[in-house]
Amino acid sequence: MTPLVIVGDALLDIDIDGSATRLSPEAPVPVVDVEHGWQRPGGAGLAALLAARTHDDVVLVTGIADDAAGRQLSGLLTSAGVRVVALPMRGTTVSKTRVRAGGQSVVRIDRGDAAPVPGALPGAAAEVLTAAGAICVADYGRGVAALPALRDALAAVAGHTPVVWDPHPRGAEPVPGCRLVTPNEAEAQHFCGTRASGEVLRERWTADAVCITLGARGARVFHADGTRIHVGTPALPAAGSVREDTCGAGDRFAVAVTAALADGADTASAVAAAVDAAARFVAAGGAAGVSTPVPAGHSGPLTDTDHGATDAVALAERLRAEGRTVVATGGCFDLLHTGHIRLLRTARELGDALIVVINSDDSVRALKGPSRPVMPAEDRARVLTALACVDAVAVFDEATPAGVLDAIRPDIWVKGGDYTADQLPEADVVTRHGGDVVIVPTVAGYSSSALIAAARSGQPTER
């Protein structure tokens, strides 16, 4: 399988959610009492994360500064299954923090000044561009898409590889020969200087086609032969009280249209698929649905004292109030492996959020023996929380997760293995609250116990 390559500026996005019931005595501004903190890759990083949720081979060509925020960003991308090809950088990682109260934005705080260092394109970056099945340039105006060597490489492959360019008002112009350029309506008007004109932009950028995205009104495509088509948004089921957040919708559109072109779709069909994907992304809560709790020590919901259990329950309550589907799964997760990742990704696809409940150290010892766990509960929780498909983690001390599930009340309980629902002692708790039990077959050849035993014996495991 050829990789889906994302190129552009990667940022760190942080959301601080809280409540505001009073004004500050120092100034007439609201005081926000922080309740939860969420983080995710931003910019081209978000585009790569979204691509990795549906594609196994995603590569991000970007620059990430070597600082605490940069390492945090790198960890989020790696845990999401994104392979990062680094470009030389200077400065500090760009982070954007949105502070919200009652679902409304109060302020955004921007930090960082990272910028790429001009020069020869690293060999690894040139190789992935040449091998790409399709390329999405997510330009956020911070210099990556303006690098001369990178632009030369993109122009060289555009003749035979679909290149989709998502432009930015402060960014570089698309290289000639792009299969599709995807400004939104405001960006198109900015580039034209007057009323947005797809024909003018297509000729100016010498692109095969230009697609102006129109938000809830869909998209309009302008082809080289002069034809234009309008693609409307699909009629989706009512989302109840889910609060729509359009943050990330443009990235979801750009990634979806790139993937469709990589699969051989024509431009019109690819745009239709991307409009549908972006509409569903917004209806499901937008970027909030792919965020993870800020780690312990960073004012986030996961703490060493309660292992995140309180916040898992609070998250489930909030999502239920919004009419969204809560999925839960559980186990020891003593040594994370491919089987676990497939289970977690499958579970996350069944709903709007995934809560993982894990056995405490005492519970693992009771099940596995005195030599287990290999990793303490705090570390297992942090590793799981760093995965893009996991929204919260809770730890339970009992032999079964029935107690914590009674508090979380998931709509769907996912278990891996060869069980049937009536063999699970916790199934009664799930069904009593109106939930369903789903069994996902395990991946043959992967077992934490077998991997740990092999590591201790010095012998390789058999697949």
Whether the Cβ atoms of residue 60 and residue 84 lie closer than 8 Å to each other: yes
Whether the Cβ atoms of residue 333 and residue 374 lie closer than 8 Å to each other: no
Whether the Cβ atoms of residue 257 and residue 211 lie closer than 8 Å to each other: yes
Whether the Cβ atoms of residue 310 and residue 378 lie closer than 8 Å to each other: no
Q: How many other CB atoms are there within 10 angstroms of residue 78's CB atom?
A: 12
Q: Which of 17, 139, 251, 311 is catalytic?
A: 251
| Residue 296, token pair as written in the block | 């312990």
Whether the Cβ atoms of residue 220 and residue 197 lie closer than 8 Å to each other: no
| Half-sphere exposure at residue 43, Cβ-oriented, CA atoms within 13 angstroms | 27
Whether the Cβ atoms of residue 163 and residue 179 lie closer than 8 Å to each other: yes
Q: Tell me whether residue 251 is one of the annotated catalytic residues.
A: yes
User: What gap in Å lies between CA 362 and CA 376, rounded to an integer?
Assistant: 10
Q: Which residue has the tokens 């939104």?
A: 184
Q: At what angle do helices 44-52 and 249-262 cross, to 10 degrees?
A: 50
| Residue 32, token pair as written in the block | 């926000």
In terms of residues, how long is the chain? 463
Helix (H) or strand (E) holding 18: strand 10-23
Catalytic annotation, residues: 251
